[in-house]
């Protein structure tokens, strides 16, 4: 029975192009969930405004590319409901209603809020909308009453606030909202070409939309064990971000071989990188093929979003009806 399946909801901000880190950290997980659970996956385009309000020129493009990446990675519209936040006005309404009962101190103490404000220096992030970001996220979540929300560690404060708001609402009015649990994505952090965490703010990403020569070039110039300067210097794979890619993409046998040969300088970094590039290209090729087809068919994407937003809209409307009744408004 489809009605007894547990419900899952998650979203992504269209604030850039998706990279391997997003694929391994989120999409692979989503793909596994969609056969077992009733899944809702949405593009949080209003959230993208919180940091990009002054320049919205690329948001539509990013929404489009994000949807292509999802489908190319195997998110299946026949299994999961795929939609775009801004198509469902109920998100904005619930955000407003929840904001009325959210103490500002709950928002100010959110560590993600403080960190982002430290991190983003080129834009004014002291906006009302940015402070309220987690309230919008709570609305996104609570509208669909999911059993759990797959997210990365950085999102845990938002999930906690979502539960706090659910409790506050339920005790002020009527029990409308079940408390959603998080599903922490288990994948280890993926390093970028400079050896730091792969992130679009560091410009060290391998994007799902990068063409094969671009991917190969990025891997060629990727940093390695910094102590291995010359070909005959022995290396230490434990200190090398390229080896982390091997751990993800290469067979245990190849990993073992490189582990040994790097330490004795039997293999050079150029050959080692070529080996892992081949595996990454193998993994990305089906996505590139799917991307090429999807990119030529914007009408198909439109249909998927239309249908997904219709389905999601029904759930959102029903919840908002209960909210209005509970609040007598």
Helix ranges restricted to H, 149-188? 156-172
- Least distance in angstroms from the C-beta of 121 to ligand TRP: 19
Helix, coil or strand: residue 15: coil
Q: Which residues pair with 81 in a beta bridge?
A: 40
Helix, coil or strand: residue 67: helix
Q: 9 or 67: whose CB is closer to ligand TRP?
A: 9
Q: 151 or 301: whose CB is closer to ligand TRP?
A: 151
Q: What's the CA gap between 192 and 175, in Å, rounded?
A: 45
Q: Which two tokens stand for residue 40?
A: 């809702």
The residue within the footprint of ligand TRP, chosen from 151, 242, 258, 320 (CB under 6 A), is: 151
DSSP structural state of residue 223: -
Q: 150 or 235: whose CB is closer to ligand SF4?
A: 235
- Least distance in angstroms from the C-beta of 231 to ligand SF4: 10
Give CA 187 to chain center in angstroms: 13
DSSP structural state of residue 123: S
Of 51, 63, 73, 191, nearest in space to 126 by CA? 51
Q: 153 or 220: whose CB is closer to ligand TRP?
A: 153
Residue ranges that bind ligand SF4, judged by CB under 6 A = 224-225, 228, 235, 237, 240, 242-243, 258, 262, 267, 269, 272-273
The residue within the footprint of ligand TRP, chosen from 8, 18, 33, 44 (CB under 6 A), is: 44
Q: Which residues pair with 11 in a beta bridge?
A: 42
Of the candidate spans 61-69, 76-84, 135-143, 274-282, the one that interacts with ligand TRP by CB under 6 A turns out to be 135-143
Give CA 315 to chain center in angstroms: 23
- Least distance in angstroms from the C-beta of 232 to ligand SF4: 12
- Least distance in angstroms from the C-beta of 199 to ligand SF4: 21
User: Footprint of ligand TRP on this chain (CB under 6 A)?
Assistant: 9-13, 44, 47, 137, 140-141, 149, 151, 155
């Amino acid at each position: 029975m489809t009605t007894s399946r547990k419900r899952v909801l998650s979203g992504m901000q269209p604030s850039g192009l998706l990279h391997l880190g997003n694929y391994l950290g989120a999409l692979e997980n989503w793909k596994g969930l969609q056969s077992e659970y009733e899944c809702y996956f949405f593009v949080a385009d209003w959230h993208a405004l919180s940091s990009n309000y002054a320049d919205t020129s690329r948001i539509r493009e990013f929404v489009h590319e994000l949807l292509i990446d999802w489908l190319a990675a195997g998110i299946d519209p026949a299994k999961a409901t795929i939609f775009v936040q801004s198509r469902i006005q109920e998100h904005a309404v619930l955000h407003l209603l929840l904001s009325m009962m959210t103490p500002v101190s709950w928002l100010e103490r959110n560590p993600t809020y403080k960190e982002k404000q430290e991190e983003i220096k080129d834009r004014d992030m002291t906006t009302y909308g940015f402070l309220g970001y987690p309230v919008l996220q709570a609305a996104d979540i609570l509208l669909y009453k999911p059993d759990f929300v797959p997210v990365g560690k950085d999102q845990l404060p938002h999930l906690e606030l979502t539960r706090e708001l659910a409790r506050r609402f339920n005790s002020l009015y009527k029990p409308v909202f079940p408390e959603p649990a998080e599903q922490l994505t288990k994948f280890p952090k993926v390093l970028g070409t400079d050896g730091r965490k792969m992130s679009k703010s560091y410009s060290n990403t391998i994007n799902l939309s990068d063409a094969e020569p671009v991917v190969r070039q990025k891997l060629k110039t990727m940093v390695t064990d910094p102590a291995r300067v010359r070909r005959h210097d022995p290396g230490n794979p434990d200190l090398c971000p390229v080896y982390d890619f091997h751990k993800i993409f290469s067979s245990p046998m190849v990993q073992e071989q490189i582990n040994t040969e790097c330490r004795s300088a039997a293999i050079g970094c150029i050959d080692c990188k070529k080996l892992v590039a081949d595996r990454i290209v193998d993994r990305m090729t089906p996505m590139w093929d799917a991307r090429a087809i999807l990119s030529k068919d914007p009408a198909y994407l439109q249909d998927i979003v239309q249908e997904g937003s219709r389905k999601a809209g029904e759930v959102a409307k029903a919840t908002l009806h209960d909210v209005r009744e509970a609040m007598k408004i």
